[in-house]
């Protein structure tokens, strides 16, 4: 049985016009123990009547009236709830593809799900799907599609619609208040005092993108049963080494560096078992290129070249990811096995057919460049 109910709302949008539309996207969740929900709602209703009379609790109704905002935050301090927030600095999102709404929300859906689920595996999350809450609508769809109910035995993580709930109104108020702390277009001389007030109710502030750090990266997925510290450490170390050693002096290397940074971003935001499609990677990588890359270029010049340099990249039918378990490595080997040997077998059949029809006079593998292939065929067939 779920023992925590949460109410979530958002601040900001997917625009990357930082001068007029803001620098940050913030998701605020108000967390309440299920047994204290009734008294929580009664207390919030008193505050709503006191400061908003007949209207809803809305951050934009307070606006830049910081004195009034601070008074409300003061009255909220002693109530039994906490605030869990994800703060996304849009300026630091690597990959121009995030400027597309679908990619931006898809990334944030993964971030919020992963952060909430690993902290509150048994949670009922209530969101408002009405009005312009496009992100919350997309997040609900994401959870229904991707949540693995038996990942933790007995754990429940559900999300439901709850229009005009007092808890959602409060989440809106805290999301907007955090906007005055973090967003460069909202910051002012009162921001520090505002942050100190908000901080007293904060149980966790999660800043994204995180600075890449090997130990933090390893901790991202270690609570999943299949996690293997040795494989994760090796994979991440080789990615960091490649990013540091690749010189951005050619378009090929720029593409490789950008791809590795995107891999790290998705490692933060995705479920550890989730792969990201080549189409998704290419959408990001193509934005700043004069000519769009082809699938062949992506597979050979980026993936193939990085693997030739010793970078470990897990592959499946669903795309690519950073390996963090033995299963990831086995999937990569299985994927290769399913491709390599059928091709070699077909080449062998073709070669044998031509040898037979020419009385062994024409060997299509006689060319010096096929010497290694001839050895492989000799050993395995």
Where in the chain are the domains?
4-208, 214-324, 330-380
Which of 34-43, 98-107, 208-217, 257-266 is predicted with the least confidence, judged by mean pLDDT? 208-217
pLDDT value at 217 more than 80: no
End-to-end CA distance of the chain: 58
* Local structure of 116: helix, strand or coil: helix
Q: Taking 50 as the threshold, does the pLDDT of residue 70 lie above it?
A: yes
Q: Do 111 and 86 touch, CB atoms closer than 8 A?
A: yes
Residue 156 has a pLDDT of: 59
- Asked if the model's pLDDT at residue 334 lies above 70, the reply is yes
Listed in sequence order, the residues at least 6 apart from 332 whose beta carbon sits closer than 8 Å to its beta carbon are 313, 314, 315, 316, 323
Residue 76: its pLDDT value, please? Answer: 94
Q: Does residue 299 surpass a pLDDT of 80?
A: yes
Tally of CB atoms within 10 A around 93 = 21
CA distance 359 to 374: 19
Dump pLDDT digits (tens) for 339-348: 788 888 888 8
**Is pLDDT at 173 greater than 90 in this prediction?**
yes
Place 24 in a pLDDT band, splitting at 50, 70 and 90: very high
Q: What's the pLDDT band for 136 if we cut at 50, 70, 90?
A: confident
Is the pLDDT at 121 greater than 80, yes or no?
Answer: no
DSSP bridge pairs for 86:
27, 206
Mean pLDDT computed over 279-297: 81
Helix, strand, coil fractions of the chain, as percent rounded to 5: 55, 15, 30
pLDDT at 72: 95
> How wide is the angle at C-alpha 107 spanned by C-alphas 317 and 267, nearest 5°?
60
pLDDT of residue 151: 40
DSSP class of residue 91 equals G
Half-sphere exposure of 275 (CA within 13 A, CB side): 15
9 within 8 A of 128, measured Cβ to Cβ:
yes
How far apart CA 312 and CA 318 sit, in angstroms, is: 17
Computed on alpha carbons and rounded to an integer, the radius of gyration of the chain in Å comes to 26
Give the pLDDT of residue 153.
Answer: 39
CB atoms within 10 A of CB 345: 13
Write down the pTM of the prediction: 0.60
Identify whether the C-beta of residue 22 lies closer than 8 Å to the C-beta of residue 179: yes
Q: Please state, rounded to an integer, the average pLDDT across all residues of the chain.
A: 82
CA–CA gap between residue 13 and residue 221 (Å, rounded):
28
What single string gives the DSSP state of each residue in 164-217?
A: T-HHHHHHHHHHHHHHHHH-TTT--TTHHHHHHHHHTTEEEEEEESPPP-HHHH
Q: Phi/psi of residue 65, each to 5°?
A: -80, 80
Q: List, for residues 312-333, the tens digit of each pLDDT value.
A: 999 888 899 999 888 888 887 8
What is the pLDDT at residue 223? 53
Percent of the chain whose predicted confidence (pLDDT) is above 90: 24
Q: What is the mean pLDDT of residues 173-183?
A: 94
Q: Which long-range contacts (CB under 8 A, 24 or more apart) does 177-181 make?
A: 177/59, 177/69, 177/73, 178/11, 178/26, 178/28, 178/85, 178/87, 179/11, 179/12, 179/22, 179/24, 179/26, 179/59, 180/64, 180/66, 180/69
Residue 49 has a CB neighbour count (10 Å cut-off) of 11
CATH for 4-208, options being 3.40.50.1100, 3.10.400.10, 3.30.420.10, 3.50.50.60? 3.30.420.10
More confident site: 56 or 158: 56
For residue 128, pLDDT over 90 is answered with no
Which among 173, 160, 210 is positioned nearest to 71, based on CA atoms? Answer: 173
DSSP 300: I
CA dist., res. 243 & res. 246, Å (int): 6
CB 173 within 8 A of CB 63: no
Indicate the DSSP class of residue 98: G
Residue 246: both structure tokens together? 């690749």
Rounded to an integer, what distance in angstroms lies between the CA atom of residue 221 and that of residue 208? 16
Weakest mean pLDDT among 58-67, 112-121, 303-312: 112-121
How far apart (Å, rounded) are the C-alpha atoms in residues 76 and 198?
Answer: 10
Query: Is the peptide bond preceding residue 209 cis, with omega within 30 degrees of 0?
Result: yes
Residue tagged 């559900």 (tokens): 158
Tell me what pLDDT residue 295 has: 93
């Amino acid at each position: 049985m779920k023992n925590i109910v949460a109410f979530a709302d958002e601040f900001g949008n997917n625009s990357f016009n930082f001068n007029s539309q803001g620098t940050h996207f913030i998701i605020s969740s108000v967390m309440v123990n299920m047994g204290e929900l009734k008294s929580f709602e009664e207390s919030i209703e008193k505050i709503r009547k006191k400061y908003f009379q007949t209207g809803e609790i809305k951050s934009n109704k307070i606006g830049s009236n910081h004195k009034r905002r601070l008074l409300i935050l003061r009255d909220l301090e002693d109530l039994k709830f906490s605030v869990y927030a994800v703060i996304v600095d849009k300026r630091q999102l690597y990959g121009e593809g995030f400027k597309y709404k679908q990619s931006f929300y898809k990334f944030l859906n993964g971030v919020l799900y992963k952060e909430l689920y690993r902290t509150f595996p048994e949670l009922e999350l209530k969101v408002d799907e009405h009005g312009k809450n496009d992100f919350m609508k997309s997040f609900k769809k994401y959870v229904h599609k991707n949540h693995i109910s038996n990942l933790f035995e007995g754990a429940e993580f559900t999300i439901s619609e709850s229009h005009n709930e007092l808890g959602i109104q409060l989440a809106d108020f805290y999301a907007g208040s955090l906007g005055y702390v973090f967003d460069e277009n909202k910051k002012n001389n009162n921001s520090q005092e505002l942050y100190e007030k908000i901080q007293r109710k904060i149980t966790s502030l999660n800043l994204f993108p995180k600075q890449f750090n090997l130990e933090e990266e390893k901790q991202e997925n270690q609570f999943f049963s299949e996690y293997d510290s040795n494989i994760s450490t090796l994979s991440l170390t080789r990615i960091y080494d490649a990013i540091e050693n690749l010189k951005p002096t050619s378009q090929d290397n720029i593409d490789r560096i950008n791809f590795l940074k995107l891999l790290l971003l998705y490692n933060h935001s995705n479920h550890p078992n989730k792969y990201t499609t080549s189409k998704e990677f290419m959408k990001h990588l193509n934005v700043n290129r004069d000519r769009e890359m082809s699938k062949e270029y992506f597979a050979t010049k980026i993936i193939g070249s990085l693997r030739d340099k010793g970078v470990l990249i897990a592959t499946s039918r669903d795309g690519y990811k950073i390996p963090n378990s033995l299963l990831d490595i086995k999937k990569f080997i299985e994927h290769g096995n399913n491709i390599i040997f059928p091709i070699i077998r077909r080449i062998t059949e073709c070669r044998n057919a031509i040898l037979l029809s020419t009385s062994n006079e024409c060997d299509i593998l006689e060319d010096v460049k096929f010497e290694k292939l001839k050895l492989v065929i000799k050993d395995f067939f």
